[in-house]
């Protein structure tokens, strides 16, 4: 600031009576010269390094998110047990997944997500606690429980024929269930509301056209046939649902 004052003083002494735009521009330029660094904008090298760091951070976030999804998936079977929730073979066909979702056991487990296991603990809270260690999450937050419920709902919901946790679909579920937790706890009506929105007037935009196909595929109740070729069905539904070793989400989440 001392240098700025000296420069202003010098300009004023040289052009004491001249307040023309040329003189004023000179004053402004002098101030800018001292107040701003010589390189206002980053170099290409700096931009490249920053972008690379950003992409690495996104990769770590995605890996962490995928890890959380796997933890919840494992916890679902650990909490319900194979007696209550039947397992699936690795890389099942579309028809196998549809049949599994239509079973009474899966429907019952889906219902239990919204019910109390004990006097003050929901089933989904037990799954969340089994998903996140006490070291990582000493206290389960509403966000932990809403995330867990979103994954469980997508996997177990009988009316939804898919099990892939696409990004935007997860966001829609989490937002709905966070609102539930702010109003006392998870609500089965919210699950029904979400699937109704997805099948009638989609408010949860699908991640890709494949996701849209996954949710709107039509199943004939009479013959059991699906209105897609078997190869197309398997491409859409094959998710590796195996209780010991599978990955049910894809690279879009």
Does residue 106 sit in the same domain as residue 222?
Answer: yes
Contact 108, 123 (CB under 8 A): no
In a domain, 233, yes or no: yes
Domains identified in the chain, total number: 2
Helix axes 167-181, 142-156, angle to 10 degrees: 130
Which pLDDT score, from 0 to 100, does residue 208 have?
A: 36
In a domain, 182, yes or no: yes
Does residue 112 sit in the same domain as residue 209?
Answer: yes
In a domain, 72, yes or no: yes
Residue pointed to by tokens 């709107």: 216
Does residue 9 sit in the same domain as residue 62?
Answer: no
What residues pair up with 219 in beta bridges, in sequence order?
Answer: 226
Does residue 93 sit in the same domain as residue 146?
Answer: yes
In a domain, 248, yes or no: no
Which pLDDT score, from 0 to 100, does residue 227 have?
A: 36
Question: CA-CA-CA-CA torsion for 246, 74, 82, 240, nearest 10 degrees?
Answer: -10
Distance CA 64, CA 58 (A): 10
Element (H, E) at 161: none
Range of the domain at 135: 44-237
Does residue 28 sit in the same domain as residue 63?
Answer: no
Question: CA-CA-CA-CA torsion for 7, 13, 15, 17, nearest 10 degrees?
Answer: 130
Element (H, E) at 208: none
Does residue 90 sit in the same domain as residue 9?
Answer: no
Which pLDDT score, from 0 to 100, does residue 110 have?
A: 96
Which tokens hold the place of 110? 């889906």
Which pLDDT score, from 0 to 100, does residue 234 have?
A: 41
Contact 123, 112 (CB under 8 A): yes
In a domain, 242, yes or no: no
Does residue 100 sit in the same domain as residue 117?
Answer: yes
In a domain, 120, yes or no: yes
Does residue 9 sit in the same domain as residue 130?
Answer: no
Which pLDDT score, from 0 to 100, does residue 237 have?
A: 38
Half-sphere exposure of 205 (CA within 13 A, CB side): 2
Which tokens hold the place of 95? 């028809």
pLDDT in single tens digits along all 253 residues of the chain: 566 556 656 656 655 555 566 666 676 677 666 666 555 666 788 788 888 888 888 888 777 788 888 899 999 999 999 889 998 777 777 888 889 999 999 999 999 999 999 998 999 999 999 999 888 889 999 999 999 999 999 999 998 877 878 888 899 999 999 999 999 888 999 999 998 888 775 555 444 334 434 433 333 223 333 333 444 434 433 333 333 333 333 333 3
Distance CA 199, CA 214 (A): 11
Does residue 99 sit in the same domain as residue 166?
Answer: yes
Q: What 3-state class would DSSP assign to 219? A: strand
Which pLDDT score, from 0 to 100, does residue 4 have?
A: 55
27, exposed or middle or buried, with CB in 10 Å at 0-12, 13-18, 19+?
Answer: middle
Which pLDDT score, from 0 to 100, does residue 219 have?
A: 30
Does residue 10 sit in the same domain as residue 61?
Answer: no
Does residue 181 sit in the same domain as residue 86?
Answer: yes
Which pLDDT score, from 0 to 100, does residue 236 have?
A: 38
In a domain, 169, yes or no: yes
Residue pointed to by tokens 């260690």: 133
Does residue 150 sit in the same domain as residue 98?
Answer: yes
In a domain, 203, yes or no: yes
């Amino acid at each position: 600031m001392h240098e700025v004052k000296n420069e202003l003083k010098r300009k004023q002494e040289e052009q004491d009576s001249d307040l023309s735009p040329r003189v004023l521009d000179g004053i402004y330029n002098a101030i800018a010269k001292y107040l701003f660094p010589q390189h206002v904008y980053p170099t290409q090298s700096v931009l490249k390094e920053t972008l690379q760091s950003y992409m690495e951070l996104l990769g770590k976030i995605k890996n962490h998110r995928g890890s959380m999804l796997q933890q919840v998936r494992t916890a679902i079977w650990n909490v319900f047990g194979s007696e209550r929730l039947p397992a699936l073979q690795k890389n099942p066909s579309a028809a196998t997944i549809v049949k599994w979702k239509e079973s009474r056991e899966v429907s019952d487990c889906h219902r239990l997500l919204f019910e109390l296991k004990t006097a003050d603990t929901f089933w989904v809270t037990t799954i969340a606690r089994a998903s996140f260690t006490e070291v990582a999450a000493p206290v389960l937050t509403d966000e932990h429980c809403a995330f867990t419920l979103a994954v469980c709902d997508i996997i177990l919901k009988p009316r939804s024929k898919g099990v892939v946790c696409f990004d935007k679909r997860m966001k829609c579920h989490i937002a709905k269930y966070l609102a539930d937790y702010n109003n006392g706890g998870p609500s089965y009506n919210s699950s029904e509301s979400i699937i109704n929105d997805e099948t009638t007037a989609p408010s949860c935009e699908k991640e890709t056209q494949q996701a849209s196909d996954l949710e709107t595929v039509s199943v004939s109740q009479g013959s059991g046939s699906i209105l897609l070729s078997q190869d197309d069905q398997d491409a859409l539904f094959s998710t590796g649902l195996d209780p010991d070793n599978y990955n049910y989400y894809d690279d879009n989440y």
